């Protein structure tokens, strides 16, 4: 018999239920966002690439973009090919390493990113419309706390 305390079954069930509820809420936002992005000709993967480039604030080496997106470099190459064809991203030679290529947002890409943000905001707003302002603030605080905990936890 172990000396470690065991969580009661109802606590485990509550945690599992909360996990499922969070997953369903995230899926609902994702599905709604996908529907709102479709008319913009943007896939969720392409949207992620654009957001990652925008968050960085300056051109990224393709390998760094892949690392930040947690995908293999070949995936980023395919994404950047499609985004470049759409005029949303352009490739530039890396002035510090001639073997590397940088990906950067074009003005059209920045416009599309703003359209995407509005679509995401709309999708999230629909889901959160069931909550009062106070409940939204409380939820935001709890999610920030979880995010901070996750970021501070060693891998």
> What is the pLDDT at residue 32?
81
In terms of Cα–Cα distance, which of 102, 78, 82, 75 is closest to 91? 102
Q: What pTM does this model have?
A: 0.71
Q: What is the mean pLDDT of residues 34-39?
A: 83
CA–CA distances in Å: residue 4 to residues 1, 7, 33: 9, 10, 44
Instruction: Determine the Cα–Cα distance for residues 41 and 58; give it in Å rounded to an integer.
Output: 24
Q: 55-73 pLDDT, tens per residue?
A: 988 899 999 999 999 999 9
User: pLDDT band at 6, cuts 50/70/90?
Assistant: low
SS (H, E, C) 81-117: HHHHHCCCEEEEECCCCCCCEEEEECHHHHHHHHHHH
CA–CA distances in Å: residue 40 to residues 87, 108, 150: 13, 12, 33
User: pLDDT band at 9, cuts 50/70/90?
Assistant: low
Q: 41-58 pLDDT, tens per residue?
A: 888 889 999 999 999 888
Q: How much is the mean pLDDT over the chain?
A: 86
């Amino acid at each position: 018999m172990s000396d470690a305390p065991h969580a009661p079954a109802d606590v485990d069930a509550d945690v599992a239920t909360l996990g499922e509820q969070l997953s369903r809420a995230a899926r609902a936002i994702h599905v709604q966002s996908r529907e709102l992005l479709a008319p913009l000709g943007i896939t969720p993967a392409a949207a992620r690439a654009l957001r990652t480039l925008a968050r960085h604030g300056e051109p990224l080496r393709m390998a760094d973009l892949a690392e930040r997106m947690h995908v293999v470099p070949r995936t980023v190459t395919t994404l950047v090919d499609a985004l470049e064809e759409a005029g949303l991203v352009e490739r530039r030679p890396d002035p510090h390493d001639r073997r590397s290529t940088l990906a950067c947002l074009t003005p059209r890409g920045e416009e599309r990113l703003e359209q995407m943000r509005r679509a995401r905001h709309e999708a999230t707003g629909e889901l959160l419309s069931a909550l009062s302002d106070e409940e939204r603030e409380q939820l935001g605080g709890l999610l920030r706390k979880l995010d901070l905990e996750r970021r501070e936890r060693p891998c």
